Amino acid sequence: MTPSDSILSHRTVLLGVTGSVAAIRVPALIQLLVARGASVVVVRTRHARHFLSDAEIDAVAASTDCSRVRRYDDVHEWEQWRALGDPVLHIELRRQADVFLVAPLSANTLAKLANGLADNLITCTARAWDWQRRPVWLAPAMNTAMYEHPFTAEHLQRLMRLGARVLPPVHKRLACGDEGVGAMPSPEAIVTGMEEGLRAMTTMVAGPRPAHPSAPLYPTPLTPAAIDRFADPPALPATARAPDAAPHSPPSL
């Protein structure tokens, strides 16, 4: 696939990286997104920096197209504002990005997003994000016991009702040594899932993709009915479903 063939071409992907060991796979994810023609803005939580360093992001940028990879952390939010009239970073990111991808999404940040907290650059941007006009993709990554906790199903379903789409974790041996569901999907699976889902969204909701590369993927706000058509819940064990949630078949992505 050439960059011009991808629905991500000429789009800006805001990539939120949270404190999960799966963050070590983010450099490969950035490379794939840039190869699809996307620009990538990486935003890390404080704990994500433990797994993904400045040098690693800069190395990926240098090996691809430096002009299409940027990185920000919480400190930049405060450094860039000095007086009234200065730009507010989380609002600028909200305006500039076409797609919001959080990968990996830790249990901690999942809970924050689901409850509307705004205590770092990722959560502030999410709180300001136009969930019904610009897509949100979530790639949870956590220990199996945490993934199967009832709060996980409740939080994911709450965000999906806003319009988020989930790329479910996979079954494998985890970093802690346990074996089970909880690992972030491969970078290839994430990018492919986003492309397939975005094509379906633009076809169902907005018709053909807008010709102008900066046009919103959703020209008109999504209705709850439209959201329901593409927001298939992730496959969760029965014990992890919210008490009032009916069983669902696994998603197609």
Predicted confidence at residue 65, as pLDDT, reads: 81
Token pair 């997003």 is found at 113
- Spatial distance between the Cα atoms of 86 and 79, rounded to a whole number of angstroms: 11
Pairing of the two strands 12-17 and 39-44: parallel
- Spatial distance between the Cα atoms of 114 and 150, rounded to a whole number of angstroms: 13
Predicted confidence at residue 250, as pLDDT, reads: 35
Residue 40 CB neighbours (<10 A)? 29
Predicted confidence at residue 5, as pLDDT, reads: 81
Token pair 């930049």 is found at 76
Predicted confidence at residue 13, as pLDDT, reads: 98
- Each residue's pLDDT tens digit in the chain (253 positions)? 666 689 999 999 999 999 999 999 999 999 999 999 999 999 999 999 999 999 999 999 999 888 899 999 999 988 888 888 888 999 999 999 999 999 999 999 999 999 999 999 999 999 999 998 999 999 999 999 999 999 999 999 999 999 999 999 999 888 888 888 989 999 999 999 999 999 988 664 444 444 444 445 544 444 444 444 444 445 554 444 434 434 333 333 3
Question: Alpha carbon of 222 to those of 101, 173, 204, 240: distances in Å?
Answer: 18, 38, 10, 28
124 is known as an active-site residue:
no
Predicted confidence at residue 110, as pLDDT, reads: 98
CATH topology of domain 9-232: Rossmann fold (3.40.50)
Instruction: From 252, 246, 247, 235, select the one nearest 156 (Cα to Cα).
Output: 235
Check 62, 176, 204, 215 and give the catalytic one: 176
Round to the nearest angstrom and report the end-to-end CA distance of the chain. Answer: 19
Predicted confidence at residue 178, as pLDDT, reads: 82
Query: Under 8 Å CB-to-CB from 114, ≥6 apart: which residues?
Result: 154, 155, 156, 158, 159
- Give the burial class of 125: count Cβ atoms within 10 A of its Cβ; 0-12 exposed, 13-18 middle, 19 or more buried: buried
What pTM did the predictor assign? 0.81
